[in-house]
């Protein structure tokens, strides 16, 4: 379990570092990510999965 937690922490740290680097390079795609998540939410809402 300790190994899995350490791996998750490492992955989160690397993802944050990647976001910082992308911002510095002007490759910030956060807007795209938000748009994609909104599309997924809308698709789930339209599927009638939740009542």
> What is the mean pLDDT of each successive set of 10 residues along the chain, which is 51 residues long?
84 92 78 83 77 51
DSSP-assigned letter for residue 48: T
For 26: left if phi > 0, alpha if psi spans -120 to 50, otherwise beta; the answer is left
Instruction: Give how many domains the chain has, as a whole number.
Output: 1
Quote the domain boundaries for residue 15: 2-46
51 lies in some domain? no
Report the greatest alpha carbon distance in the chain: 43
Model pLDDT, residue 36: 86
Tokens 């939740």 found at: 50
pTM of the full predicted structure?
A: 0.47
Which pLDDT score, from 0 to 100, does residue 26 have? 82
Under a CB-based contact definition with an 8 Å cutoff, are residues 32 and 39 in contact?
A: no
In this structure, is residue 9 part of a structural domain? yes
User: Within 13 Å of residue 51, how many CA atoms lie on the same side as its CB?
Assistant: 0
pLDDT at 37: 86
């Amino acid at each position: 379990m300790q190994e899995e937690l350490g791996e998750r922490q490492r992955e989160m740290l690397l993802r944050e570092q990647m976001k910082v680097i992308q911002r510095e390079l002007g490759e910030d795609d956060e807007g795209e990510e938000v748009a994609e998540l909104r599309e997924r939410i809308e698709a789930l809402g339209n599927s009638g999965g939740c009542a």
